[in-house]
Amino acid sequence: QWIFLNGEFVTKENAKISVYDHGFLYGDGVFEGIRVYSGNVFRLEEHIDRLYHSAKSILLDIPYTKDEMIGHVLETIRRNGCQDAYIRLVVSRGIGDLGLDPYKCKMPQVVIIVEPLALFPEHLYETGIEVVTVATRRNRSDVLSPKVKSLNYLNNVLVKIEAHLANVSEALILNDQGYVAEGSGDNVFIIKNGVIYTPPGYVGALEGITRQAIIEIAADLGYTVKEEPFTRHDVYVADEVFLTGTAAEVISVIKVDGRTIGDGTPGPHTKRLLEEFRRRVVAEGIK
């Protein structure tokens, strides 16, 4: 396995970062998770755009142009000979001293890791998953925007811990006003009377690339999709609930805080969206 590390390809054993890197010391950096389907990279330009937006928001200058970065991602995939894979692209502030000052970090570090897939097991797409809502809140949009995919994922880690303590694999996080924002690493949708709802960005979610793909697919299939805030109650009484994400794709949620959603099995609309999503990801990607 070859890992891209600051312009060079190194083996996994040699892919090392300094303990003075501010990504390690302070979570100071940004990242992306990207999928390769049958050798095609799904919506790579959108992921690269989001990476550069996240970086701009935290005043981090990525040392490559977007085109160069796309080239590095494609080359890393080629070297690893992967057909179906998950890519982790990380840009950290770089090596500084123990102080917070990011201006002492002279050169951001860029890492690209291509891994074989580690997905939810396929049977969960057949059965759906159970989730809970948690006490951890999404950070407010007026502080570090949830749209920034930063290395500071402590909130999301705490959500995972709460999910684990409740013996479920995923959880929904609310914003500070109690509106449902997203999952720990996925966006959330509900369906009621054939209409699809997902929280708007301002509620405090990452603008997921899978979320956007599903909005487009749903519209193409003739559904009405509304970006509107909703509460836990709306989730409990929805006909269908599902999560979307690069790793999760589209996964049905069949129980929330002990309330069974619909008849407790993945609903027909969710199944249709997953089927169409899986059809398109292979057709659409960049080679």
Please give the positions annotated as active site.
Answer: 149
Q: Which amino acid is it at 39?
A: G
CA distance 108 to 29: 9
Q: Does 246 bind ligand PLP (CB under 6 A)?
A: yes
Q: Does 208 bind ligand PLP (CB under 6 A)?
A: yes
Q: In what order do the strands lie in the sheet with 40-41?
A: 8-11, 2-5, 109-116, 85-92, 29-37, 40-41
CA distance 215 to 223: 9
CB closer to ligand PLP, 82 vs 181: 181
Place of tokens 């509900």: 190
With CB under 6 A as the rule, give the number of residues binding ligand PLP.
15
In the complex, least distance from residue 8 CB atom to ligand PLP, rounded to whole angstroms: 26
CB closer to ligand PLP, 66 vs 97: 66
- From the list 195, 177, 199, 176, the residue with the least C-alpha distance to 186 is 199
Q: Does 209 bind ligand PLP (CB under 6 A)?
A: yes
Given 210, 217, 240, 267, the residue binding ligand PLP (CB under 6 A): 210
Given 211, 242, 252, 267, the residue binding ligand PLP (CB under 6 A): 211
207, 54 Cβ separation under 8 angstroms:
no
Plot region of 24 (φ>0 → left; ψ -120 to 50 → alpha; else → beta): alpha
CB closer to ligand PLP, 46 vs 234: 46
CB closer to ligand PLP, 2 vs 179: 179
Residues binding ligand PLP (CB under 6 A):
33, 156, 182, 185-187, 205-206, 208-211, 244-246
